[in-house]
């Protein structure tokens, strides 16, 4: 990395605080990441110097705001290797992006008797929009299962995707299992059957290089706040020919061509899908977040996370009574690690870790069908990002050992 | 050391109730029943109450799952309200809910709660207050339904 870990830590002042008298170890990055000072400053500076509504005024501030907003779109385009900024739509977040596709493309193209195929490890955000669409249209919702170690079962995918399938919606990286799915292969499979592939990149874009050309997905959604940007901004990538044929998602300002008393026409892409005043500062913050990630290098981000997983996963597996869900080999695991300690409820465990200053998530992780599939009520989840230190990994392991002793797990 | 603070929450009596829950199991018959869950964490309680001819809570039982705090709280709640009149039990539920959010209560009201009063410590763990109150909410909801039915009867 160009920056040392200490320099990186200095960019995230929030990480240097103490929580419950201990130095904060923030391991809830799959829920949301922290923002570096450069992102915060960029947002502040926008409001202090350039703030105006975009695409609407002829005055200087409006011009500056528009140019900042569109510069952010170009940064996103480059980052995910989209061909054209017309294919980059700003949304409220990943959930909003996925709902957009279900409500427009799905509404238009799914009929009774059709199939929508998703995987059992989807986050509710990439599940409920399809479930409700299927219910409404009389279509069938089918689930691709997992291999015993938590990978997408490709044989099952080949069975489930048929000529009746109109949409395949699949996470690129699981927010529970810590696995990466072969999105490219599944997109190919979907295309062979005339279906489109919708990728949920919420846990992928912040952590690895994603390339829309290489993946050849039709739609791809992700959130800003999981990649150092403010909350309330997200992206939907869509292939231009598909977006062009889709009806608008919402109606109102910005997204119109002309409006008469009885009819309207729509603005060109991407504005057709950006109704109302957008989260301009959020988009600019996302642009700044991408700038920051580029100074580190997204490949280095992935390498650093892999180093942390190599360090922590074997240590976790060595704790007697601790179960890790998903792959047990570090090289097949992202920085998301779900686990349980004996029969201890993950909420009790999370409280114990919090007392040690270690922030993890506990619960069903917005993946209740996956929890049922695995026969679990809930898990604890530690999720790493490039700014976590080796010491953070050690602190997690130590805190787990303390908790194990406190709750007398495995000592009977 | 961080975990010493945990002793304030996970006291012996709480761990004991969680490990050896009282009144756990479904009742064969009940006068009031409710299923409540906490959607954020998936904790669930299926509570059954049997108010006898004497107007008192003769039997109370529950099934469900959840964290140590929610399970211990359910056990302590059932123990505290068994044999009480529903109106008394409702008063205790109110005392408990108020206690959990830090409202002051008389020593007598707190003592009424029996073992459950040790959960005063839940105030120090705001993220866990819902775990402790789930069982009491269930009690309140189950009994209030009964109260409404009585009202209807009275009018008849």
- What's the per-residue H, E or C state across chain A? CCCCHHHHHHCCHHHHCEECCEECEECECCCCCCCCHHHHHHHHHHHHHHCCCCCCCCCHHHHHHHHHHHHHHHHHHHHHCCCCHHHEEEECCHHHHHHHHHHHHHHHHCCCCCEEEEECCCCHHHCHHHHHHHHHHCCEEEEECECCCCCECHHHHHHHCCCCEEEEEEECECCCCCCECCHHHHHHHHHHCCCEEEEECCCCCCCCCCCHHHHCCCEEEEECHHHCCCCCCEEEEECHHHHHHCCCCCCCCCCEEEECCCCEEECCCCHHHCCCCCCHHHHHHHHHHHHHHHHHCHHHHHHHHHHHHHHHHHHHHCCCCEEEECCCCHHHCCCEEEEEECCCCHHHHHHHHHHCCEECEEECCCCHHHHHHHCCCCEEEEECCCCCCHHHHHHHHHHHHHHHHHCCCCCC
**B4, B6, B132: best mutation site toward chain A, by most A Cβ within 10 Å?**
B6
Report whether A275 contacts A103 (CB < 8 A): no
Report whether B33 contacts B142 (CB < 8 A): yes
Residues of A in contact with B129 (CB under 8 A): none
Residue B28 sits in a domain whose CATH number is 3.90.1010.10
Residues of A in contact with B121 (CB under 8 A): none
d(CA A130, CA A119): 11
| pLDDT at residue B118, as a whole number | 85
| pLDDT at residue B15, as a whole number | 86
| pLDDT at residue B114, as a whole number | 86
User: How many angstroms away from the CA of B128 is the closest CA of chain A?
Assistant: 8
Least trusted range by pLDDT, from A351-360, A371-380, B39-48: B39-48
A16 touches chain B (CB under 8 A): no
Query: Where do the domains of chain A lie, and which CATH numbers do they carry?
Result: 5-31+298-406 (3.90.1150.10), 41-294 (3.40.640.10)
d(CA A182, CA A313): 23
Smallest CA–CA distance from B40 into chain A, residue = A363
Phi, psi angles (nearest 5°) of residue B51: -90, 120
| pLDDT at residue B109, as a whole number | 86
In this predicted model, what pLDDT tens digit does every residue of A86-132 receive, in sequence order?
999 999 999 999 999 999 999 999 999 999 999 999 999 999 999 99
d(CA B142, CA B80): 16
d(CA A157, CA A277): 40
**What average pLDDT score do residues A314-338 get?**
96
User: How many angstroms away from the CA of B42 is the closest CA of chain A?
Assistant: 7
CA proximity to A102, closest of A72, A79, A125: A125
In this predicted model, what pLDDT tens digit does every residue of A153-207 receive, in sequence order?
999 999 999 999 999 999 999 999 999 999 999 999 999 999 999 999 999 999 9
Which segments of B20-128 does DSSP mark as H helices, in order? 68-81, 86-100, 107-112
CA distances from A68 to A56, A145, A172, A197 (A): 14, 44, 30, 31
In this predicted model, what pLDDT tens digit does every residue of A373-383 receive, in sequence order?
999 989 999 99
Kindly state the tokens that stand for B58. Answer: 């003769």
In this predicted model, what pLDDT tens digit does every residue of A42-66 receive, in sequence order?
999 999 999 999 987 789 999 999 9
Q: Which of A366, A371, A373, A402 is catalytic?
A: A366
Whole-prediction pTM: 0.92
Query: Which pLDDT band holds residue B149 (cuts at 50, 70, 90)?
Result: very low
The answer to whether the CB atoms of A347 and B125 lie below 8 A apart is: no
Answer whether residue A412 shows pLDDT above 70: no
Kindly state the tokens that stand for A165. Answer: 């399938």
The answer to whether the CB atoms of A406 and B6 lie below 8 A apart is: yes
* Total domains in the fold of chain B: 1
Q: Is A21 exposed, middle or buried (0-12, 13-18, 19+ CB in 10 A)?
A: exposed
Query: Which pLDDT band holds residue B103 (cuts at 50, 70, 90)?
Result: confident
Domain interval for residue B66: 2-155
B22 touches chain A (CB under 8 A): no
Smallest CA–CA distance from B4 into chain A, residue = A355
d(CA A279, CA A91): 8
Q: What percent of chain B has pLDDT over 90?
A: 51
In this predicted model, what pLDDT tens digit does every residue of A196-240 receive, in sequence order?
999 999 999 999 999 999 999 999 999 999 999 999 999 999 999
Size of interface A-B (CB pairs under 8 A): 55
| pLDDT at residue A350, as a whole number | 96
| pLDDT at residue B146, as a whole number | 45
In this predicted model, what pLDDT tens digit does every residue of B2-18 receive, in sequence order?
678 788 788 888 888 98
B42 touches chain A (CB under 8 A): yes
Kindly state the tokens that stand for A105. Answer: 């493309």
The answer to whether the CB atoms of B3 and A355 lie below 8 A apart is: yes
Omega cis (within 30) before A166 = no
| pLDDT at residue A353, as a whole number | 97
The answer to whether the CB atoms of B131 and A22 lie below 8 A apart is: no
Residue from the list A354, A355, A363 with its beta carbon closest to the beta carbon of B41:
A363
Q: Is the dihedral of CA A324, A203, A80, A186 positive or negative?
A: positive
A351 touches chain B (CB under 8 A): yes
Q: DSSP state, B117?
A: G
B100 touches chain A (CB under 8 A): no
For chain A, how big is the Rg over CA atoms in Å? 22
What is the rounded average pLDDT for all residues in chain B? Answer: 86
The answer to whether the CB atoms of B68 and A345 lie below 8 A apart is: yes
b/e map A172-189, b = 16+ CB within 10 Å: bbbbbbbbbbbbbebbeb
A407 touches chain B (CB under 8 A): yes
Residue from the list B2, B3, B67 with its beta carbon closest to the beta carbon of A347:
B67
CA distances from A397 to A311, A394, B2, B10, B16 (A): 10, 5, 14, 21, 27
Smallest CA–CA distance from B5 into chain A, residue = A355
Q: Catalytic: A366?
A: yes
Residue from the list B5, B42, B65 with its beta carbon closest to the beta carbon of A363:
B42
Answer whether residue B151 shows pLDDT above 80: no
The answer to whether the CB atoms of A378 and B42 lie below 8 A apart is: yes
| pLDDT at residue B59, as a whole number | 96
Q: What percent of chain A has pLDDT over 70?
A: 99
In this predicted model, what pLDDT tens digit does every residue of A262-311 receive, in sequence order?
999 999 999 999 999 999 999 999 999 999 999 999 999 999 999 999 99
Number of H helices, E strands in chain B: 6, 3
**What average pLDDT score do residues A7-35 get?**
97
In this predicted model, what pLDDT tens digit does every residue of A385-410 receive, in sequence order?
999 999 999 999 999 999 999 888 76
The answer to whether the CB atoms of A363 and B6 lie below 8 A apart is: no
- Which stretch of DSSP H or E encloses residue B7? helix B6-9
CA proximity to B42, closest of A368, A276, A9, A208: A368
Kindly state the tokens that stand for A273. Answer: 């899908």
Phi, psi angles (nearest 5°) of residue A389: -100, 165
The answer to whether the CB atoms of A20 and B5 lie below 8 A apart is: yes
């Amino acid at each position: 990395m160009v920056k040392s870990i200490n320099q990186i830590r200095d960019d995230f002042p929030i990480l240097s605080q103490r929580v419950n008298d201990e130095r904060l170890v923030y391991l809830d990055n799959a829920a949301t990441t922290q923002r570096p000072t450069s992102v915060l400053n960029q947002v502040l500076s926008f409001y202090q110097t350039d703030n105006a509504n975009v695409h609407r005024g002829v005055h200087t501030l409006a011009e500056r705001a528009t140019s900042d907003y569109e510069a952010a779109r170009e940064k996103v385009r480059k980052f995910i290797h989209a061909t054209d900024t017309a294919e980059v739509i700003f949304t409220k977040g990943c959930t909003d992006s996925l709902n957009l596709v279900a409500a427009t493309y799905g509404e238009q193209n799914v009929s009774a008797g059709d199939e929508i195929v998703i995987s059992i490890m989807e986050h509710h955000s990439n599940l409920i929009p399809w479930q409700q669409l299927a219910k409404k249209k009389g279509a069938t919702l089918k689930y691709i299962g997992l291999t015993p170690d938590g990978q997408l079962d490709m044989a099952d995918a080949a069975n489930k995707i048929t000529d009746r399938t109109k949409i395949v919606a699949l996470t690129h990286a699981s927010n529970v299992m810590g696995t990466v799915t072969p999105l490219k292969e599944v997109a190919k499979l979907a295309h062979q059957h005339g279906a489109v592939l919708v990728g949920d990149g919420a846990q992928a874009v912040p952590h690895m290089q994603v390339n829309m050309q290489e993946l050849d997905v039709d739609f791809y959604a992700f959130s800003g706040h999981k990649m150092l940007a403010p909350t309330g901004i997200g992206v939907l990538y869509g292939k231009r020919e598909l977006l062009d044929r889709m009806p608008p998602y919402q109606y109102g300002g910005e997204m119109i061509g002309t409006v008469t008393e009885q009819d309207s026409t729509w603005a060109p892409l991407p504005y057709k899908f950006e109704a109302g005043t957008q989260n301009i500062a959020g988009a600019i913050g996302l642009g700044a977040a991408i700038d920051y990630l580029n100074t580190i290098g997204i490949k280095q981000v992935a390498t650093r996370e892999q180093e942390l997983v190599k360090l922590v996963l074997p240590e976790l597996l060595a704790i007697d009574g601790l179960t890790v869900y998903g792959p047990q080999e570090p090289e097949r695991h992202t920085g998301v690690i779900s686990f349980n300690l004996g029969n201890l409820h993950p909420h009790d465990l999370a409280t114990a870790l919090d007392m040690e200053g270690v922030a993890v998530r506990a619960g069903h992780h917005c993946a209740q069908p996956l929890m049922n599939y695995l026969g679990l009520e809930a898990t604890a989840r530690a999720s790493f990002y490039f700014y976590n230190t080796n010491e953070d990994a050690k602190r997690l392991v130590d805190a787990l050992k303390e908790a194990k002793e406190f709750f007398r797990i495995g000592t009977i | 050391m961080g975990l010493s603070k945990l002793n304030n929450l996970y006291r012996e009596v709480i761990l004991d109730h969680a490990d050896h829950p009282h009144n756990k199991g479904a009742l064969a018959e009940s006068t009031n029943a409710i299923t409540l869950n906490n959607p954020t964490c998936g904790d669930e309680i299926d509570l059954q109450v049997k108010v006898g001819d004497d107007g008192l809570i003769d039997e109370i039982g529950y099934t469900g799952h959840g964290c140590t705090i929610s399970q211990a709280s359910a056990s302590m709640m059932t123990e505290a309200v068994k044999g009480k009149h529903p109106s008394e039990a409702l008063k205790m539920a109110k005392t408990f809910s108020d206690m959990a959010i830090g409202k002051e209560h008389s020593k007598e009201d707190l003592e009424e709660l029996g073992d459950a009063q040790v959960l005063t410590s839940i105030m120090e763990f705001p993220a866990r207050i819902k775990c402790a109150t789930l069982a009491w909410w269930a009690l309140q909801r189950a009994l209030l339904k009964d109260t409404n039915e009585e009202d209807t009867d009275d009018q008849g």
